[in-house]
A and B are shown apart, each in its own frame.
Chain A
């Protein structure tokens, strides 16, 4: 909408002075009617000598009259041409002036807009820099937090963090495998993924037992299922299956 408005504005700036110039020229013609007559009489003048010739009997006078009228006619024609050229030159000057004015106005507008954009860009740049600083501070806090978490001895790390820490040599292989086992436990316990259970048994065999964090969590889970089973009608087949698996994970007898 704003672009349309600017286009209309520019057109008005360009066309209005041209219309004014043309109006002035028309006014000029009205103020000097002899010129207008000169233009209109050029056609009719050619008839007049013929009538003179027919009315006069003196051939010299006739020739003189015709010559005079011809010279007059030529003068008028010349005058018309002169005026036409003047009008053309004046129109050109008008258009040139309008173009220059319009160009200068557009240039001024463009410069103003460039300044505006420059200011906005600077503002955005400042904002970006501030955001970057804030983000860096948050990242540092997060990294510090991760470092603290890694440093806690008895803590089982989330798998993605453990992978990064292990790759960077921040934790040892044992702690990483412990985290892998914890991931398998979570896969089964929270995701209901049977592959997690199968992996857990493999980890248990390879580690000669499971990490304490998993044992604690498995015991809590078993207590919850037992409570469910002991209340009539509360447990379903899946609960019974899970109970058996938990007993196997914990090396406990079924009875």
Chain B
């Protein structure tokens, strides 16, 4: 069975080349374009081998009904922070979680140490090969 990654990223279509090397290795990348869509997809975390989360996310990208849970995340500086906390604290998701954002070191800046974040990558100046090198060990890929 192929390795499946959920990438919650509003600029997915602009940054999708970042995952190209992993896709070439057979990794399937599913995406969510907003916090609301991410919430819906991440609820089925058992379907994924890894969840990659952007920190600066919009509430929604369409007119879909937004769950009350997602509104709760607005108390955080960024919706992505709320999403990651919900994933680990409320949903008790066991799959690895990686943060991929323009923010430098959100784990340190927003005190996310106790949430078992596997890796923390900055999108600024990130190369696809660098991302692949960091993600492969998490997915147990050679």
Contacts and interface: CB of A to CB of B under 8 A. Distances in A.
A177 interface: yes
Nearest to A173: B125
Nearest to B16: A163
Interface in A133-154: none
Contacts of A195: 10, 56-58
A102 B17 CA distance: 63
A202 B102 contact: yes
B102 A203 contact: yes
A177 B102 CA distance: 10
A115 interface: no
Given A163-B14, A163-B17, 6 more contacts: A167-B17, A173-B125, A176-B125, A180-B124, A180-B125, A195-B56
A85 to B, nearest CB: 77
11 contacts: A160-B14, A163-B15, A177-B125, A180-B125, A193-B10, A193-B58, A195-B10, A195-B58, A199-B56, A202-B102, A202-B103
Interface in A163-200: 163-164, 166-167, 173, 176-177, 180, 183-184, 187, 193-195, 198-199
Contact of A177 (B11, B56, B103, B124): B124
Contact of A183 (B14, B58, B78): B14
B56 A202 contact: yes
Interface in B113-136: 123-125, 127-128
A195 B10 CA distance: 9
Contact of A198 (B78, B104, B123): B78
- Central interface residue in B10, B14, B102, by most chain A CB within 10 Å: B102
Contacts of A198: 56, 78
Interface string A185-229: 001000001110011001100100000000000000000000000
A163 B13 CA distance: 12
A14 interface: no
Nearest to B103: A202
A160 B123 CA distance: 14
Q: 9 closest Cβ contacts across the A-B interface?
A: A173-B125, A198-B56, A195-B56, A202-B102, A177-B124, A177-B125, A199-B102, A195-B58, A202-B103
